Structure 1
Amino acid sequence: MAAEFTIRRATREDLPELLQLYRHLMPDDVPVSTERTEEIWDRFSRYGDSAILLGLLDGRQVATCTLVVIPNFVRGGANYALIENVVTHTDFRGQGHGKAVLLAAVDAAWSLGCYKVMLLTGSKNPATLGFYRNAGFETTKTGFEVRRLPPRER
């Protein structure tokens, strides 16, 4: 029997497993305390239409991304969106789960009236860049950032 893959919004109850999934993005990251995790969840949940999407394979979290929807005063008041923290569990990469979650986030942004969806990656890995291109993202702008923390190792 084939495994069942579903996508849904994360809930507070998903946090322990989600934090483990994030370790596949940044294995050496300093873990966040339970108290701080709860604070972050409470703040994020007030971001209106924003969501953390989960890709579940037979109920197990295997992929995720965060969609932040931002109100806008230009472009006729159309929202725009930012995607961050795109992660697929290392045991499940190359199977289409990450792409499915990413495309679900883009579809959610379109349904919320966003006129564009942006994401940034610091990766120079051709496979990672190809993943984003294959999901429909293009290099159309120049990105700049100011960092307080150093970028993660690639």
Structure 2
Amino acid sequence: MHIRQAIRTDLENLLDLYRHLMPEDRRPSKTRAETVFDAFLKYDGSCIVLGEIDDQLVASCTLVVVPNLTRGGTPYGLIENAVTHTDFRRRGLGKMILDAATEHAWQNNCYKIMLLTGSNRSDAINFYHQAGFDQTKTGFQKRRIPPRSGL
């Protein structure tokens, strides 16, 4: 798998891949997606990590690098929208994407990276453990829209 950072021309394929994460999710217009992507790139150190096999986008995750006034001013990273195309799951590709995002976070001086999952399925929880994430914190959220179903 070839791993790289997303560029603006990847948006259409990225939005297609997100269907494997949230099939019922409303797709943004092309203009809205471009506006959001351009705004996202202004977050220094943040990136969308892509994995391709034979020029097909098969896995991705988003890393946001957050400025921080604790830990001596050292930033932390948040991972969101981790997804692997359903036809390519259980091959280690998701772990490779998370490893690439982790390396990018370390290169950007993050002292930690975090992610949340809405899934309570044991295979999903085990995947994150096997990818090197420890379940050492308790997550809370307030939602403006309801969570995905079928988790």
TM-score (norm 2): 0.97
Supply the RMSD in Å over aligned alpha carbons.
0.7
1:124 to 2:90 alignment:
no
Mapped partners of 1:145, 1:31: distance in 2: 23
> Of the candidates 94, 102, 106, which is equivalent to residue 106 of structure 1?
102
1:46 to 2:42 alignment:
yes
Q: Which runs of 5+ in 1 are unaligned?
A: none
User: What is the count of residue pairs matched by the alignment?
Assistant: 150
Instruction: Identify which range, 31-40 or 13-22, moves more after superposition.
Output: 31-40
Q: CA deviation at 1:111?
A: 1.2
- Matched residue, 2:51: 55
Q: CA deviation at 1:59?
A: 1.5
Which aligned segments of 4 or more residues in structure 1 are displaced greater than 4 angstroms? none
- Matched residue, 1:27: 23
Mapped partners of 1:78, 1:42: distance in 2: 25
- Matched residue, 1:85: 81
TM-score (norm 1): 0.95
1:147 to 2:143 alignment:
yes
Deviations 1:50-104 (A, max 9, x none): 0000011122110000000011111011110000000000000000111100011
> Secondary structure at 1:66's aligned position in 2?
strand
Q: CA deviation at 1:27?
A: 0.4
Mapped partners of 1:34, 1:98: distance in 2: 26
- Matched residue, 2:61: 65
Mapped partners of 2:80, 2:124: distance in 1: 14
Deviations 1:19-68 (A, max 9, x none): 00000000011111111111111111111110000011122110000000
1:13 to 2:9 alignment:
yes
